[in-house]
Amino acid sequence: MFMRACCLILALVLSARAVAAADRPNVVFVLADDLGWTELGCYGNRFNQTPHLDRLARDGMRFTQAYAAAPVCSP
């Protein structure tokens, strides 16, 4: 009986947290190695077809002033 009550309370607490978290914004951070900024359709490239990334860029926010001082990956 005690275990059932604990499980029920835990389920209620977790569901309440899920409802409270529903109003938070969704964040998608795309990090790609060796991808130039001109290789995506949202920046004007017509050769590479990136419809899903283009839609994310159109409906969301783009950060255009990000720089890496050195390569991000290594062998």
**pLDDT tens digits for range 13-37:** 777 766 655 566 778 888 777 787 7
pLDDT at 21: 55
pLDDT at 55: 92
Q: The tokens of 62 are what?
A: 């783009």
In this structure, are residues 50 and 67 in contact, taking their beta carbons and an 8 Å threshold? Answer: no
Place of tokens 């309370």: 9
**What is the DSSP secondary structure assignment for residue 37, as one 8-state letter?**
G
